[in-house]
Amino acid sequence: MITSLDDLDEVTGEVIQKELSKRYLSAIIHKIDEVRSEFGVSYWNVQTDRGWREFVVEENPNQFIWLSERRVLILDVDGNRFEIPDYTQLDADSAKMMVHLT
């Protein structure tokens, strides 16, 4: 099992990264514009490193993977991945919307 792409040579790491990005959308969330919950799902409108995105997340603890005390990976219903590297670094309004996850 490969535990880190850093363990691979540069060319192999690049090939694997390209294949992963084809398979999964992975975006870094910079700002949360809105999160609203209805009937066991939440609807997210966010600003990412890939632009504005809207996605749906089942309100299930398995959809929010805490990678560290402040870093979270969010999995949407389509299997796309959205990462917040450090939720404490978000703007105040975005951080308020994260309170229910912490």
Question: Which domains are present in the chain?
Answer: 25-101 (2.60.40)
pLDDT for the residue 58 = 93
Q: What is the band of 95 on the pLDDT scale with cuts at 50, 70, 90?
A: confident
Q: Is 32 exposed, middle or buried (0-12, 13-18, 19+ CB in 10 A)?
A: buried
pLDDT in tens, 41-83: 999 999 999 999 999 999 888 899 888 888 999 999 998 999 9
Percentage of the chain exceeding pLDDT 90? 49
pTM of the model: 0.73
Distance CA 84, CA 94 (A): 11
Q: What is the band of 5 on the pLDDT scale with cuts at 50, 70, 90?
A: low
